[in-house]
């Protein structure tokens, strides 16, 4: 059969090439009838060994071949031209229309803010294990955390070692702050200020801000001006809040007003993202939260926190004792002021440095 194919088709390739790559074809040969009905010409070594292939081809009528693609082989794009064509085809498809909630498209920023606050009130407390990736200009690493929060400003954080034992504990009820650092056996106590809470976190957050973020809510700027548009490219509401030279932009889902991300410009602050929304305890809630510290122009300063909840509980009943911490035995006691300086040290004492990785963190992972 191969000899006959070579005789009639020469060196023709039995594979055809298309835009989608090489695909094998089925070839059906229909030899011509010669010298009488039913007679078929044959050309091969068994009949004419002395003939050359060229002589055979010259003396014989042409053969007809029907080439059909084999449907058993998958057609896969293999060329840049094919991929470009596919991309252009997809780009030509019109985007699906945006979906809005039961109230329809919201055009008034005050109405949206009111609905956003009502949505946030669905989650009052939270308790969860968490895995945090922390990056600072000096080092980076991962840490296991236990998190418990309660609106408006009660917070409990535990940094755990490999065996799940607490190596640092921070607790605040919104008025008083306490921190136990097991690495140097020191117990800090003082006002619940942003400087004191940031002794455990590499970002400066006051307790109310920290609680809002951990509960999946964006802390909003006290705005003098507001503006609301639909960001077609992001397929989300874009709420802009302005106060003097400081501007905050918040992106929200058009269907359920879920916070997506926020950025502040004009002041040292942070960008925050809420991702991986899941239905938990009948509430659609972000399981992953990330923060990036930025300067006034929005340039990252090198501090990042990425938190992922594990075994998350929403609206659990929490004991008030979670947000109060007594001094452990055999620890050094340090009373600090609102700026984080030890009392009695004098006003010339420099402010505490921004911390690196929390105690118990695994560097470089």
Residues 134 and 163 in one domain: yes
Instruction: Count the helices and strands in the chain (H runs, E runs).
Output: 6, 18
Whether 63 maps to a domain, the answer reads yes
- Is the pLDDT at 24 greater than 50? The verdict is no
Whether residues 193 and 250 fall in one domain: yes
Q: Give the least confident one: 58-72, 173-187, 218-232, 291-305.
A: 58-72
Same domain, residue pair 244 and 346: yes
Query: If you write DSSP's letter for every residue of 283-308 in order, what string do you get?
Result: EEEEEEEEEEEE-TTS-EEEEEEEEE
pLDDT at position 306 is 97
Asked if the structure places residue 102 within a domain, the reply is: no
| Average of per-residue pLDDT across 262-291 | 96
Is 134 found in the same domain as 54?
Answer: no
Q: State residue 39's pLDDT score.
A: 42
Residue 231 and residue 338 share a domain: yes
Across all residues in the chain, what is the average pLDDT?
81
Q: 78 with 50, same domain? A: yes
Q: Are residues 214 and 278 in the same domain?
A: yes
Percent over 70 (pLDDT), the chain: 68
Average pLDDT over residues 5-24: 42
Same domain, 348 and 279: yes
pTM comes to 0.72
Q: How many domains, in total, are found in the chain?
A: 2
The C-alpha atoms of residue 15 and residue 30 are separated, in whole angstroms, by: 19
d(Cα 166, Cα 121) in Å, to the nearest integer?
Answer: 31
Domain membership of residue 316 as a residue range: 109-363
Are the C-beta atoms of 180 and 168 separated by less than 8 Å?
yes
Cα–Cα nearest to 116, from 6, 294, 239: 239
Checking if the pLDDT of 37 tops 50, the result is: no
Distance CA 163, CA 82 (A): 53
> What confidence tier does 97 reach under pLDDT thresholds 50, 70, 90?
confident
If you ran DSSP here, which 8-state letter would residue 234 be given? T
Note whether residue 335 is domain-resident: yes
Do 183 and 329 lie in one domain? The reply is yes
Q: What is the tens place of the pLDDT at every residue in 340-358?
A: 889 875 555 455 555 566 6
Last residue of a domain, one of 65, 92, 119: 92
Residues 10 and 149 both lie in one domain? no
pLDDT tens digits, 44-75: 444 444 445 455 555 555 555 454 554 444 44
């Amino acid at each position: 059969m191969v000899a006959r194919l070579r005789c009639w088709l020469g060196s023709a390739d039995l594979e055809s090439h298309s835009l989608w790559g090489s695909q094998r074809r089925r070839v059906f040969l229909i030899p011509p009838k010669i010298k009488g009905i039913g007679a078929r010409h044959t050309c091969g070594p068994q009949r004419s060994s002395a003939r050359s292939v060229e002589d055979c081809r010259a003396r014989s009528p042409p053969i007809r071949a029907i080439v059909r693609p084999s449907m058993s082989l998958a057609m896969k794009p293999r060329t840049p031209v094919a991929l470009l064509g596919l991309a252009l085809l997809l780009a030509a498809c019109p985007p699906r229309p945006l979906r809005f909630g039961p109230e329809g498209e919201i055009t008034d920023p005050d109405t949206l803010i009111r609905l956003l606050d009502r949505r946030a009130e669905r989650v009052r407390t939270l308790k969860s294990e968490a895995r945090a990736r922390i990056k600072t200009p000096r080092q980076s690493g991962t840490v296991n955390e236990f998190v418990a929060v309660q609106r408006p400003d009660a917070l409990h954080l535990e940094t755990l070692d490999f065996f799940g034992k607490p190596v640092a504990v921070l607790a605040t009820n919104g008025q008083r702050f306490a921190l136990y650092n097991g690495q140097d056996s020191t117990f800090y106590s003082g006002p619940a200020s942003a400087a004191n809470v940031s002794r455990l976190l590499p970002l400066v957050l006051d307790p109310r801000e920290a609680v809002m973020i951990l509960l999946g809510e964006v802390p909003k700027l006290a705005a003098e001006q507001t503006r609301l548009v639909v960001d077609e490219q992001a397929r989300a509401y874009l709420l802009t809040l302005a106060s003097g030279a400081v501007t905050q932009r918040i992106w929200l889902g058009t269907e359920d007003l879920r916070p997506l991300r926020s950025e502040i410009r004009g002041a040292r602050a942070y960008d925050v993202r809420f991702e991986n929304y899941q239905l938990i305890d009948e509430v659609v809630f972000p399981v992953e939260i990330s923060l990036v510290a930025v300067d006034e122009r929005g340039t990252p300063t090198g501090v990042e926190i990425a938190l992922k909840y594990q075994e998350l509980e929403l609206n659990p009943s929490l004991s008030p004792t979670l947000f109060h911490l007594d001094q452990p035995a055999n620890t050094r006691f340090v009373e600090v002021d609102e700026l984080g300086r030890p009392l009695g040290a004098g006003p010339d004492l420099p402010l505490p440095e921004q911390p690196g990785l929390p105690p118990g963190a695994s560097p470089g992972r």
